[in-house]
Amino acid sequence: MSKKLILRDDEMPTSWYNVVPDIPNGLRPPLDPATLQPIAPEKLAAIFPMGLLEQEMSPERNIPIPEEVLEVYKIWRPSPLVRATKLEQALGTRAKIFYKNESVSPVGSHKPNSAVAQAFYNKREGIKRLATETGAGQWGSALAMATCMFGLKCKVYMVRVSYNQKPYRKSIMQTYGAEIVASPSAYTNYGRSVLERNPDSNGSLGIAISEALEDAVTSESTNYALGSVLNHVILHQTIVGQEAKKQMEIAGEYPDVVIGCCGGGSNYAGLAAPFVPDRLEGGKVRFVGVEPASCPTMTAGKLAYDSGDTAGMTPLLYMHTLGHDFMPPGIHAGGLRYHGMAPIVSALIRENIIEPINVHQMECFEAAVLFARTEGIIPAPETSHAIRAAIIEATRDLNEPKTILFNFSGHGLVDMAAYDSYFAGELHNYSLPREEIAESLSHLPKVE
Amino acid sequence: MSKKLILRDDEMPTSWYNVVPDIPNGLRPPLDPATLQPIAPEKLAAIFPMGLLEQEMSPERNIPIPEEVLEVYKIWRPSPLVRATKLEQALGTRAKIFYKNESVSPVGSHKPNSAVAQAFYNKREGIKRLATETGAGQWGSALAMATCMFGLKCKVYMVRVSYNQKPYRKSIMQTYGAEIVASPSAYTNYGRSVLERNPDSNGSLGIAISEALEDAVTSESTNYALGSVLNHVILHQTIVGQEAKKQMEIAGEYPDVVIGCCGGGSNYAGLAAPFVPDRLEGGKVRFVGVEPASCPTMTAGKLAYDSGDTAGMTPLLYMHTLGHDFMPPGIHAGGLRYHGMAPIVSALIRENIIEPINVHQMECFEAAVLFARTEGIIPAPETSHAIRAAIIEATRDLNEPKTILFNFSGHGLVDMAAYDSYFAGELHNYSLPREEIAESLSHLPKVE
């Protein structure tokens, strides 16, 4: 079999797959934080276009991808599915390891799959400007790219610690014409209130979301865009799993286990969702979602209603959460430092379909360097979590002929400072005191 | 027609195309700098493996690509051919603009096409270590990747100004396990002699080549590797043009003009060479090679025998040159700051097959930003020269239905400091005094 499996443009899926109607026992609805009742779609229409809201709530399994979105996807999609033969050899395993290479997008990650769709629907409904937040910078870069391709303005609230540590991410967004500010910022009431209490605040994703939301609600012709967690974001990412499934089919392969790293859940659910129906029909495919031990949302959090942001402005989502004021340690995988998890992923964990695991920072960097030196591509720190899990699966029994598929969600070329710290011996593992989690979980909104 | 044209793994070319036997009036042989006579292959065998020397001198048109090299190529190859529809729309041109996207390689440029082959042949002949130089860092990154995949050690002499300005490039090479030092360094006699004269030397590609050569000659089981200029490097890069030709054929297209930026000449010749036989058989395809106005090797240099390095250690090559001690201004397109040009490209200019042009830094950045904001990919500063030339061709007569093909040789994600300087208004054009070129040309070796 060949090293790589590739589809032609005309073999690319032309619809997204909506896993929601297939989830046993379904999803619980988002709640209005004011009334604790299911939120009225009109309320969400203040920040999202109808095209996306319909997707968020849709009972349809297949939703056509608009021609304009396909046209942009085709700049880099379909993406390659590659067999990690040299990694297999280095591990001495009989397992076959495949990775779906989402790092070939213009900004180096899977994020544009949703950014392009979100920009399109907002543009179609006459919106002129989007506000968003970004942590490590992957989502902000993707939305900056997507908005400029559809002629929208874009404002990105970037978590201050990343804003200071990752000047190149900022430059990438500026090249696409976006406006970037460090969050907490003086541009919003919420940002000012945080700065008043703590002028040196490093910021957090939760704070940046609050700021972007306030911007969207208070600015003219401006909507809000989120890079993960929500159903419509995962919907857009299912292009990944649908392609991968087709590619494996062509190669005569089928995964025993499907792996991905989980921050908000979109890259992993995007790869995994299209395989879920097979499992429901009695297939043996396993699903392993990987998170950092320092931010163990799925493995040590609680399945409950919680806010997506720090200020409590978002609808309450029924999800695995560490509490919306949880402050994770400053690990380099910034994209995995989020207190919540997508309701879709959370429900699949509840139904024992996804097995969540957590891994430590050091073993992930070790896996990342091994991958770079065998397969040639330097992984993003987030992606290294998926690689570590793939290695765990491949080496549990070296003689088991197993087929492993993971999402190579992004490259690390813009995150090299993380590798510098690793090689300089400056990194270590974090063991998170259980009391800290218990404390932030005690602040969950009281629902029922 | 689709946005993108892609080949399957099994449609990838399995041999490289050697343009040398097809060049009218041929190439003049490299000379021994000591005797000024054609150099004996044995002398070159001290720094290159026989596999590459045979390619350097080969009269064969087609040279099979070893299976082991194809296997690594397939991590990212075949690369996409994309139609720049949104750029066309922004320009308001009837021209069709296609770009071959070589930025999808693990290090973001075309350089691994040769690095992988060079690592393979050295490994096959028992060499344990390679020494090389790098300017902007693209070649060093590529060779670091390739050597670690074949289990070789790698030492990179990186031009000091880039070493200081581009810490991420250094980190990339370190992640692949290479050893990197700033050149001029204290590790070689030549480096020490430069530092003695000028302890603050910023270095240059010519100096770094001298250092790497000295390392290769004086160290055990060590060969030298060059990332451009030589025939075998261009040979390896012809995978690019062969794929592009096949892709255009499938799309029912054929280029009226083939464009690329020229530093040492390998990315451009790699794309262009496979189209040269068509021109020789009476085809109308034009070839435009683009260089920076600040380092106008092809447009203001001389076709003559000259050294490839500053110390005069390399064989003398018959090429367009600005003189081996020419010091180009510090433009951001570091990969185009070289005094010489590949003998193959030089001969094709001599035969009026390639039309050389030069463009200024500011118009290139303007083109790069337009490309990023329409096509979504941020170009490397070097690549922006090809884009600028494509725009010139597409806008000369907006109503002319013309088909343009250029090599998108690399992305700029690791070069964002250049964009920062551009947006901050810190960049300007350079007009190079003719006397400066005349001065360095007066130091050419006296041959015949």
The ranges of chain A with pLDDT < 50 are none
Determine, for residues B9 and A4 on separate chains, whether the beta-carbon distance falls below 8 Å: yes
Which of A42-51, A197-206, B27-36, B232-241 is predicted with the least confidence, judged by mean pLDDT?
A197-206
pLDDT tens-digit series, residues A229-250: 999 999 999 999 999 999 999 9
Percent residues over pLDDT 90 in chain B? 88
User: Which A residues in the span 65-94 are in contact with B, Cβ-Cβ below 8 Å?
Assistant: 71-72, 74-76, 78, 80, 82, 85-86
User: Which A residues in the span 350-369 are in contact with B, Cβ-Cβ below 8 Å?
Assistant: 369
Look at residue A125 in the predicted model and tell me its pLDDT: 97
* pTM metric for this prediction: 0.95
pLDDT tens-digit series, residues B61-100: 999 999 999 999 999 999 999 999 999 999 999 999 999 9
* Residues B337-352, mean pLDDT to the nearest whole number: 96
Domains parsed from chain B with CATH numbers: 66-108+231-440 (3.40.50.1100)
Look at residue A1 in the predicted model and tell me its pLDDT: 54
Residue B1, pLDDT > 70, answer no
* Residues B7-17, mean pLDDT to the nearest whole number: 93
pLDDT tens-digit series, residues B179-188: 999 999 999 9
Provide the pLDDT confidence category of residue B290 given band limits of 50, 70 and 90. very high
Percent residues over pLDDT 70 in chain B? 100
- A148 — contact with chain B (CB < 8 Å)? yes
Mean pLDDT of chain A: 95
Helix axes A138-149, B361-375, angle to 10 degrees: 90
Return phi, psi of residue A292, to 5°. -75, 140
Determine, for residues B104 and A76 on separate chains, whether the beta-carbon distance falls below 8 Å: yes
User: Which B residues in the span 162-201 are in contact with A, Cβ-Cβ below 8 Å?
Assistant: 167-168, 171-172, 174-177
In chain B, residues with a C-beta closer than 8 Å to the C-beta of A369 are 175
Query: Could you say which of B4, B10, B149 has the minimum Cβ distance to residue A74?
Result: B4
Query: Could you say which of A148, A167, A376 has the minimum Cβ distance to residue B106?
Result: A376
Return phi, psi of residue B68, to 5°. -65, -30
Distance from CA of residue A41 to its chain's centroid?
A: 24
- A430 — contact with chain B (CB < 8 Å)? no
Show Cβ contacts of residue A406 under 8 Å, excluding neighbours closer than 6 positions. A97, A98, A99, A100, A258, A259, A260, A271, A386, A387, A389, A390
Query: Could you say which of B7, B71, B378 has the minimum Cβ distance to residue A175?
Result: B378
